[in-house]
């Protein structure tokens, strides 16, 4: 048991999820791991645990971070607790017998070290049958383009969480244009400060509000592209 005073098993689902929000807030990785296991044993889907317990808990952390109630070291602990939970869910989300539907290179842009959302997108894309090459954080333009070319990827995905780093996505897209290879790739962008208008303005193919939307968008753009190629 992660906490001597509280047996997490005695909580009903609603109480347990609220407890998980508190535990994420307090950066208690072990308690998060235990709660994730309990919810799985109760028949919750990995996706519901991810979105209703972990992502929502992180949203709450974000509000207090914004308001100056939480600071970087505390938020790092929350992020680590979140990652501990995600590590359990990852193999369950990526379990798929489906044939590979496409290949994506994805990374967080230069100057930005936020990776929780990107990692989530990786998991969900893998779970949907995509091959994912994760470039990690703080990526300069060459990382995206060289890897996408080397790996023959169809999709380039970029993540940014800061208003100061999101403009870097345009640098990547403009470089693709300068090299004459923009139309060789589907470019998907995401991250909390972005929106559709921004994605349009920088010339991305689509803005993905969350990981589930990233999967749906990737699937539909890949099949559209395959259809267009078939009719050539």
- 208-227 residues in contact with ligand B1M (CB under 6 A) are 208, 210-211, 214
What's the closest the beta carbon of residue 87 comes to ligand B1M, in angstroms?
Answer: 13
Per CB under 6 A, 58 contacts ligand B1M: yes
Outline where the chain has alpha helix (H). Answer: 13-25, 29-41, 46-48, 56-66, 72-94, 116-127, 141-151, 168-178, 196-202, 211-230
Long-range contacts of 219-227 (CB under 8 A, 24+ apart): 219/101, 219/128, 221/155, 221/186, 221/188, 222/101, 222/102, 222/154, 222/155, 222/186, 225/154, 225/186
How buried is residue 64: exposed, middle or buried, by Cβ count under 10 Å (0-12/13-18/19+)? middle
C-alpha 61/C-alpha 78 separation (Å) is 8
Per CB under 6 A, 191 contacts ligand B1M: yes
Q: Which of 18, 33, 45, 65 binds ligand B1M (CB under 6 A)?
A: 65
What's the closest the beta carbon of residue 12 comes to ligand B1M, in angstroms?
Answer: 25
Per CB under 6 A, 188 contacts ligand B1M: yes
Comparison of 4 and 176: residue with beta carbon closer to ligand B1M: 176
Comparison of 80 and 232: residue with beta carbon closer to ligand B1M: 80
Q: By rule CB under 6 A, what string of x and - marks binding of each residue 113-142 to ligand B1M?
A: xxxxxx-xx---------------------
Q: Which of 2, 75, 92, 171 binds ligand B1M (CB under 6 A)?
A: 75
Comparison of 16 and 211: residue with beta carbon closer to ligand B1M: 211
Return the biggest CA–CA distance within the chain.
67
Q: Which of 34, 112, 126, 154 binds ligand B1M (CB under 6 A)?
A: 112
Per CB under 6 A, 169 contacts ligand B1M: no
Three-state SS sequence of 148-188: HHHHCCCEEEEECCCCCCCCHHHHHHHHHHHCCCHHHCEEE
Task: Return residues touching ligand B1M (CB under 6 A).
Answer: 55, 58-59, 61-62, 65-66, 72, 75-76, 79, 106, 111-118, 120-121, 157-159, 161-163, 188-193, 208, 210-211, 214
């Amino acid at each position: 048991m992660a906490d001597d005073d509280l047996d997490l098993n005695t909580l009903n689902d609603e109480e347990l999820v609220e407890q998980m929000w508190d535990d994420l807030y307090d950066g208690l990785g072990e308690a998060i791991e235990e709660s994730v296991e309990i919810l799985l044993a109760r028949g919750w889907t990995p996706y519901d645990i991810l979105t209703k317990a972990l992502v929502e808990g992180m949203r709450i952390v974000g509000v207090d971070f914004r308001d100056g109630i939480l600071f970087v070291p505390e938020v790092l602990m929350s992020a680590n607790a979140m990652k501990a939970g995600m590590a359990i869910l990852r193999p369950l989300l990526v379990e798929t017998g489906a044939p590979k539907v496409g290949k994506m290179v994805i990374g967080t842009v230069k100057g930005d070290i936020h990776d929780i959302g990107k990692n989530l997108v990786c998991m969900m894309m893998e779970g949907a049958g995509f091959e994912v090459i994760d470039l990690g954080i703080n990526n300069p333009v060459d990382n995206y383009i060289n890897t996408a070319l080397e790996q023959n990827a169809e999709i380039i995905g970029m993540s940014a969480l800061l208003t100061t780093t999101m403009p870097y996505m345009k640098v990547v897209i403009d470089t693709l244009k300068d090299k004459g290879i923009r139309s060789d790739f589907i470019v998907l962008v995401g991250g909390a400060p972005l929106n559709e208008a921004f994605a349009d303005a920088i010339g991305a193919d689509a803005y993905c509000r969350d990981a589930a939307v990233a999967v749906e968008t990737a699937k539909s753009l890949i099949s559209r592209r395959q259809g267009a190629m078939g009719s050539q």
